[in-house]
A = this chain, B = another copy of it.
């Protein structure tokens, strides 16, 4: 059973209380999108998202420092706010750390957490400390977005352009390099390790794209384009044809050295935290121009939406290639 299937089952189990609450408590979007959404005031929406990182599953101490792990947990959670077009407000952090040597480990984790908080403009407002034999970091982030600017996974339609905010596969290349030193070096090696250990949440890009009425849906690409394009299409009740996969230079080099197809590498890589957006076709060129002027990088077209369900690539339905922590081992 995949994570998506489990989540669907849980949604059904929780649907009674969810339904009651949606009626009474102004909860607009619940389980299934990047973040949940509610309405604390007429003009704004609040957005909330939770991520858990577990030692040995999401990170290993031999491939990243605890400071990196703290940063990464924050970036992963913040990426879900970016995906909704939201501005970060505050975060809570629950840490589980082994009792022996707890204080230095907590401090090291928090140095990474605090650095990411400063970088992305969010306040650590509270948390919980617990003993745990497995180091566990659970981050919840809350953001805010104007009612008219919220983007969800639903809203894309046939004909829309599918685009990403950056080339893919670098984080996966960094994981391979961290596991196999000497795989590559130089600028590509540095970029890969940076993408893996200190990823960037695309907050500014998300707010920019969220402000455009021509952006019809948005999500983050944290589980790999293959999995996430399928999720976006399912939520929007349509399909897509992928045309060009933008592969990060570091991912291309790593894939070639490992004898893998660079494009499949980028499709399945995961944890890049770029945003996946759909844009009305007639507005794409104009929006991409403004985006490039603002961010000094391109909004990269990867394909187009279509009516028929499923996601095709190279003339055939795309296999499931993405990350699933219940199916295989991650970083």
Residues of A bordering B, CB below 8 Å: 1, 3, 6-7, 9-10, 13-14, 16-18, 20-22, 25, 27, 29-31, 33, 35-36, 38, 40-41, 44, 46, 48-54, 56-58, 89-90, 92-96, 99, 102-103, 106-107, 110-111, 114, 117-118, 121-134, 136, 138, 140, 142, 144, 325-326
Contact = CB atoms under 8 A, between A and B. Distances in A.
Contact of A94 (B21, B29, B52): B52
A87 to B, nearest CB: 9
Contacts of A30: 123-126
A271 B118 CA distance: 35
Ranked 3 nearest A-B pairs via Cβ? A21-B123, A36-B125, A40-B40
A136 B17 contact: no
B90 A123 contact: no
Interface centre among A44, A111, A128 (most CB of B within 10 A): A128
A38 B125 contact: yes
A14 B50 contact: no
A73 B140 CA distance: 16
Given A21-B90, A129-B7, A129-B326, A50 B140 contact: yes
Given A50-B128, A129-B325, A14 B92 contact: no
Contacts of A125: 18, 27, 29-31, 36, 38, 48
Given A40-B44, A50-B127, 7 more contacts: A13-B107, A13-B114, A41-B44, A50-B92, A57-B132, A133-B134, A140-B140
Given A25-B89, A52-B96, A92-B140, A18 B130 contact: no
A110 B14 contact: yes
A111 B126 CA distance: 27
Contacts of A118: 16-17
B9 A130 contact: no
B114 A25 contact: no
Nearest to A329: B131
A110 B13 CA distance: 8
A11 B326 CA distance: 36
Contacts of A94: 50-52, 138, 140
Contacts of A131: 54, 57, 325-326
A101 to B, nearest CB: 11
Contacts of A106: 6, 10
Given A102-B326, A103-B1, A138-B94, A126 B50 contact: yes
A31 B127 contact: yes
Interface centre among A29, A44, A52 (most CB of B within 10 A): A52
Contacts of A9: 103, 107
A315 to B, nearest CB: 34
A20 to B, nearest CB: 8
Given A3-B129, A36-B125, A48 B92 contact: yes
Contacts of A49: 92, 126
Given A6-B102, A14-B110, A106-B6, A128 B38 contact: no
Contacts of A6: 102-103, 106, 129
Contacts of A7: 129
